Amino acid sequence: MQKVLPSGFLPEKFAAVLADLRKAVGKEYVFSDPQWDLPAYNDAYLTTPAELHQPSAAVAPANIEEVLKVLAVASRYGAPLWTIGTGKNFAYGGPAPRKAGFVVLDMKRMKRILEVNEKHGYAVVEPGVSYIDLYRHLKKIGSRLWIDCAAPAWGGVMPNTLEHGVGYTPYGDHLMMQCGMEVVLADGTVVNTGMGALPNSQTAHLYKYGFGPSMDGLFTQSNYGVVTKMGVWLMPEPRGYRPYMFTFEREEDLEAVTEALRPLKVNMLIPAVAVTAGLIWDAAVQVRRSDYYTGRGPLPPSARQKMKRDLRIGEWNFYGALYGPEPIMDNTWEVIRDIFMGIPGAKVYLDADRKGEAAWEYRKKLGMGVPNMTEYNLMNWIPNGAHIDFSPISPVTGPDAMRQYALIRDRCDAAGFDYCGEFAVGWRDMHHIFCLTFERDNEDSKARANKLFGELVRAASEAGYGEYRTHIDFMDQIAATYNWNDRSLWRQHEKLKDALDPQGILSPGKMGIWPKTMRKEVKA
């Protein structure tokens, strides 16, 4: 890698930035060697040239005082920072900045678990705390509180929440379960949101909305501030937990499954974020594509059939769980089982039926908030596997699910990729996650993946479907689909950006929100 500088910076000026950053955090926490230090801040899963996202340096403060010093340096020189937390952020850009030359503000060293409140059921964490960190800590202190984790154990509790991530227990809507933030703004102002703005507050992590405008949402998927502390509500271990799985034979069963699911979800008989996973998703966590087919193009029906038989999975596989005392689980189970088993060809499995199988075990763990890394096996589906995730929000209806599925599948077939997807159901929507798996060392595969992704964004938005999150390479394109009334929402985002960070030093371009200083350059 070549050395790069922030746009418009001469080497002397950038050397001064680095010198000041070293004063701020100590020289061992400023990284600027393009050969030795900075590759750690590349996105391993890029479909575009790495040069486009090559940071000029990275800086890792140890505490809020050092964050303030770093911001003061950035502000003094007008240097763009790109904030990252812990976790890998694979599929969405990893640690790489939106544009080459940005300085990565790496929050991973701030990894204190500041409070676990057993009585009220919450924890307060810094940005560097991962799910596995929090899980282990709770075990160590003998807590009976569950966490709700993202699929990969290394994910960050706060970063995932800030990106509107979901987990798989009844607390799976992470932002809904967030309560209270400490945020550092670009000008160095430290803000406590909500009830935390009252000195000596007794309720900073107990009541979400505070007094006056509720600002927490503003600091999610945004570049308005650096969140340094966050409260998250934790669910007490329920009296019982019983995960279940239904498999369905036919591709078109997705329609019936989704129609069956909606009333169960809306009526809260399915309290958690349950998942309808496609055949290849469930296969790929256990086997390799080449075990079943070595040709190019879509898997032939015979290979799919064999895979289904071998792994006892269906074209679609629904994972959910019951929570609570046994009699309550029994009662709910009868309703759920009867409804899903009404779909011809459906099969049902409980824990005793599948113990030890990878695809089952990790879903069982996720449903009770036990972090693990099984899903990362998806990357073994093809050699040198990498992925970018296309994540449109879907209504919970059969026709919508089928339309989104077909929209992706047909384009996958044409572009030479497998449809590896799942639908995770929330309060009223499904997060449809298509894990677009490509070969990271194959330029043709990368180019096709990039092209396909762009097509998917276009086709989905034309059908009225928008994504909830995306890779840094597609932030502008997707932001541009949220363009109702001449981009009126993004014009407000820009207005707030200019008000809170007039110099534009914090994560320029995040979610398509550019500071005034760069807006013309980008549009041009």
Name residues contacting a second copy, limited to 323-382 (CB under 8 A).
325, 327-328, 331-332, 335
Residue among 101 and 172 whose Cβ is closer to a second copy: 172
Q: Report the residue from 465, 509, 514, 517 that binds a second copy according to the rule CB under 8 A.
A: 465
SS3 per residue for 310-323: HHCCCCEEEEEEEE
Q: Report the residue from 154, 292, 333, 482 that binds a second copy according to the rule CB under 8 A.
A: 482
Lookup result for tokens 């227990």: 169
Interatomic CA distance for residues 333 and 4, integer angstroms: 59
Q: Report the residue from 41, 82, 224, 349 that binds a second copy according to the rule CB under 8 A.
A: 224
Instruction: Decide: is 464 part of the binding site for a second copy (CB under 8 A).
Output: yes
Interatomic CA distance for residues 272 and 244, integer angstroms: 12
Planar angle of CA 95, 98, 101, nearest 5 degrees: 90
**DSSP 8-state code for residue 99:** S
Least distance between a second copy and beta carbon 376 (Å): 25
Least distance between a second copy and beta carbon 197 (Å): 4
Q: How many CB atoms lie within 10 A of CB 459?
A: 16
Least distance between a second copy and beta carbon 364 (Å): 21
Least distance between a second copy and beta carbon 246 (Å): 21
Residue among 32 and 503 whose Cβ is closer to a second copy: 503
Map the footprint of a second copy across residues 250-289, applying CB under 8 A. 262-263, 266-268
Active-site hit among 92, 171, 244, 419: 92
| DSSP characters over 214-267 | --GGGGSSSSS-EEEEEEEE-EEPPS-EEEEEEEE-STTHHHHHHHHHHHHHHT
Question: Where are the strands (E) in 237-392, listed by range?
Answer: 241-248, 274-278, 316-323, 347-350, 385-390
Q: Report the residue from 131, 513, 514, 517 that binds a second copy according to the rule CB under 8 A.
A: 513
Residue among 263 and 344 whose Cβ is closer to a second copy: 263
Map the footprint of a second copy across residues 297-326, applying CB under 8 A. 325
Q: Which two tokens stand for residue 43?
A: 């996105």
Q: How many CB atoms lie within 10 A of CB 263?
A: 12
Interatomic CA distance for residues 316 and 300, integer angstroms: 17
Count of residues binding a second copy (CB under 8 A)?
Answer: 97
Q: Could you give the count of Cα atoms lying within 13 Å of 245 in the half-sphere of its Cβ?
A: 24
Least distance between a second copy and beta carbon 230 (Å): 15
469 flagged as catalytic: yes
Q: Radius of gyration (Cα) for the chain, nearest Å?
A: 23
Instruction: Decide: is 393 part of the binding site for a second copy (CB under 8 A).
Output: yes
Map the footprint of a second copy across residues 399-438, applying CB under 8 A. 400, 426-429
CA distances from 86 to 152, 156, 219, 415, 523 (A): 12, 5, 17, 33, 31
What's the N-to-C CA distance of the chain in angstroms?
Answer: 27
C-beta separation of 267 from 167 below 8 A: no
Indicate the angle between helix axes 443-462 and 398-415, nearest 10 degrees.
150
Residue among 272 and 283 whose Cβ is closer to a second copy: 272
Instruction: Decide: is 76 part of the binding site for a second copy (CB under 8 A).
Output: no
Residue among 165 and 385 whose Cβ is closer to a second copy: 165
Residue among 23 and 239 whose Cβ is closer to a second copy: 239
Q: How many CB atoms lie within 10 A of CB 256?
A: 18
C-beta separation of 472 from 43 below 8 A: yes
With CB under 8 A as the contact rule, which of the stretches 279-287, 364-372, 416-424, 459-467 interacts with a second copy? Answer: 459-467
Active-site hit among 109, 250, 288, 468: 468
Least distance between a second copy and beta carbon 385 (Å): 27
Active-site hit among 304, 409, 440, 469: 469
Map the footprint of a second copy across residues 156-175, applying CB under 8 A. 164, 170, 175
Map the footprint of a second copy across residues 91-130, applying CB under 8 A. 119-122
Map the footprint of a second copy across residues 12-71, applying CB under 8 A. none
Map the footprint of a second copy across residues 177-206, applying CB under 8 A. 179, 185, 189-193, 195-203, 205-206
Tell how strand 429-439 and strand 421-425 pair up.
Answer: antiparallel
Q: Report the residue from 50, 406, 415, 496 that binds a second copy according to the rule CB under 8 A.
A: 496
Least distance between a second copy and beta carbon 195 (Å): 6
Least distance between a second copy and beta carbon 301 (Å): 31
92 flagged as catalytic: yes
Least distance between a second copy and beta carbon 129 (Å): 20
* Active centre residues (catalytic): 92, 468-469
